[in-house]
C-alpha cells in the first residue's frame, strides 16, 4: 500500500481510538481489493480480517505511530545538563 499518501504529515496528527480504527478499516478495504478473493476447496470467498493479518506485517496506524515517535525524538524537548 502507498502509506506515504495516507500518512502524509502524520507526525502532527493526534490519533484517537476512533481514528486508529478508521485507519485499520481503510487499510483492510484496500488490501481486500489488492489481494482479491481466496479459493478454498473450489469455493471463492472474501478474505476476512484474519486472512489479511496473515498477509501483512504492519498496519498504517503502526507506521503512523512510528513516524510520530520519530518526529518527537528529532524535535522533542532538548535535554539540558
Average pLDDT of span 33-49? 91
- Going by pLDDT thresholds of 50, 70 and 90, the confidence category of residue 53 is confident
Residue 55 has pLDDT above 70, yes or no: yes
Average pLDDT of span 42-67? 74
Beta-carbon contacts of residue 61 (< 8 Å; ≥ 6 apart): 15, 20, 23, 24
Model's pTM, two decimal places? Answer: 0.56
Amino acid at each position: 500500500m502507498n502509506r506515504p499518501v495516507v500518512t502524509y504529515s502524520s507526525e502532527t496528527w493526534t490519533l484517537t481510538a476512533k481514528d486508529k480504527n478508521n485507519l485499520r478499516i481503510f487499510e483492510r478495504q484496500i488490501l481486500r481489493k489488492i489481494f482479491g478473493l481466496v479459493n478454498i476447496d473450489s469455493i471463492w470467498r472474501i478474505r476476512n480480517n484474519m486472512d489479511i493479518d496473515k498477509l501483512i506485517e504492519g498496519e498504517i496506524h503502526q507506521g503512523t505511530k512510528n513516524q510520530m515517535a520519530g518526529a518527537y525524538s528529532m524535535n522533542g524537548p532538548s535535554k539540558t545538563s
